[in-house]
Chain A
């Protein structure tokens, strides 16, 4: 006789699923506690002066403006270097290059590059940008020791190489998601390759490319290890800015040859090497909160972009 009214019991299963559920939510709880702690401790420090003032009194008082400015300057130049190169080489790989052993090697290396420790990129930046390029420029231009030392431009360049795989991979994904039938339609109407890329492929891939760019900014702004010996400074009284003058008209410009303060590095220094770590604790929490807010805003924007992008693909 069939016992359809009997409920099948699977105690082990029910308990297991509950364990999985509890583990997941304990993770979420840990995340919220961590963020909550930073917000609770840091919010009191945040003020207009904290954001826009210089550090005072051996960094035990005052604000963090030079560190914020340095972070923005470094990531800005990083983006200028990484995004055009990354997007264009992704276009080459996806649209122009034929699928061959050679291109497969490039793709594999790019994927792998994303998993190389960031400190190794720091070594590369030191060996290549500062000692090879910088010292080389000094010798050729006979500038003494000007370029061959840690500076903002080398930190930006190194971070650019670090985020290059992120930009390339997300651009490739975005280009790949444009249906082949749309390209066929364009070619069928007598469009050239570049007309097809410019008018059909890129407009559809743009949100995906933008997502990758934002994730790259977030990654760059949060990195500390590779810039430890590439120009990040404990404390600098001046911003890495020099007036660029044409005649009498001067505009302040980021000076890429100078050293700089960096938000993430600032937190590290205050927490581990300051003269009085306990006294600077509020500043440490404040700086951490600023960095967290910055990276989270970038990440959330990227996540929303990606969500919309994928949704619009589903509709097509």
Chain B
């Protein structure tokens, strides 16, 4: 097995008095795709947002337990959340490009990190667009409004924007759920290419997608981690009955 990138131990999360995650313990491997699956409301998206502390932005959230990245507990009180998020990219369910040009969207991250050199920024734009397989489609229209792109293009541009801050980990929250099959295929292909360099964690409600793109799969149900194993094992020979019922479509 590869090196571990992220470790969570006995993680509990509460919204007010309601417990949304119960005792989650799992190790996410480096430079692999890990998928979180489970019925809606099972806590998979909440757990994803624990990993870059996006839940901090919501009032009334309480978190207990350990989440460590590269050996560092990111919930330690000395941790700088802003720095943390710079190193962990995130792609959201619905494209959330800023109403700015394509170019400005990509250089937003580098710019707030203090990179202002025009040549460097141009290089970043080209590199990230090539990486996210959208360069050919946007290279002649970098100064157009990003919202003029199609839904699939917008989502790939969101990935390019996330890559521009040079993270090691990319979190994806159902990145293809709002897309048509062709765009979805392109995103999946892209995820496959990106895992050479990045650790990817993807939340999906689409089991075929999890089976296609991921190396490891975690099945969540009612805030608990039911089973975590290699994707092939989860989909062919799960050890828990609940997992089997879910992946075979008997409930969900």
Contact = CB atoms under 8 A, between A and B. Distances in A.
A188 B98 contact: no
Nearest to B82: A192
Interface string A89-126: 00000000011000000000000000000000000000
B65 interface: no
B57 A182 contact: no
Interface stretch (B67-75, B87-95, B175-183): B87-95
A316 B59 contact: no
Interface string A161-195: 00000000000000000010111111111111001
A182 B108 contact: no
Given A181-B96, A185-B96, A316-B99, A191 B112 contact: yes
B221 to A, nearest CB: 26
Nearest to B86: A190
Contact of B89 (A181, A184, A188, A316): A188
Interface in A30-87: none
A200 interface: yes
B161 interface: yes
B63 to A, nearest CB: 17
A188 B82 contact: no
The interface residues of chain A, by DSSP majority, are classed as helix
Contacts of B97: 185
Nearest to B97: A185
Nearest to B100: A203
B112 A199 contact: yes
Interface residues of A, number: 22
Nearest to A185: B96
B96 to A, nearest CB: 4
B112 A195 contact: yes
B54 interface: yes
B113 interface: yes
B59 A99 contact: yes
B238 interface: no
Interface in B124-174: 147, 158, 161-162, 164-165
A287 interface: no
B109 interface: yes
B83 interface: yes
A184 to B, nearest CB: 6
Contact of A189 (B57, B83, B94, B165): B165
Nearest to A195: B112
Contacts, number: 67
A179, A189, A192: residue with the most chain B Cβ atoms closer than 10 Å? A189
A186 B108 contact: yes
A226 to B, nearest CB: 39
Interface in A281-316: 312, 315-316
Nearest to A100: B59
Interface in A192-217: 192, 195, 199-200, 204
Interface string A227-258: 00000000000000000000000000000000
Nearest to B167: A190
A189 B81 CA distance: 11
B171 to A, nearest CB: 8
A181 B92 contact: yes
Given A184-B57, A316-B147, A190 B112 contact: yes
A199 B59 contact: no
A258 B164 CA distance: 58
Contact of B85 (A190, A312, A315): A190
Interface in B39-71: 52, 54, 57, 59
B98 A187 contact: no
Given A199-B112, A316-B147, A179 B96 contact: yes
Interface of A: 98-99, 179, 181-192, 195, 199-200, 204, 312, 315-316
Given A189-B89, A312-B99, A315-B147, 18 more contacts: A181-B92, A182-B96, A183-B57, A184-B90, A185-B98, A185-B161, A188-B85, A188-B90, A188-B92, A189-B86, A189-B109, A190-B82, A190-B109, A190-B165, A195-B112, A204-B99, A316-B99, A316-B147
Interface of B: 52, 54, 57, 59, 82-87, 89-90, 92, 94, 96-99, 108-109, 112-113, 147, 158, 161-162, 164-165
24 contacts: A179-B96, A182-B96, A182-B98, A183-B57, A184-B54, A184-B57, A184-B92, A184-B96, A187-B54, A187-B57, A188-B52, A189-B109, A189-B165, A190-B83, A190-B109, A190-B112, A190-B113, A191-B108, A191-B109, A195-B112, A199-B108, A204-B99, A312-B99, A316-B147
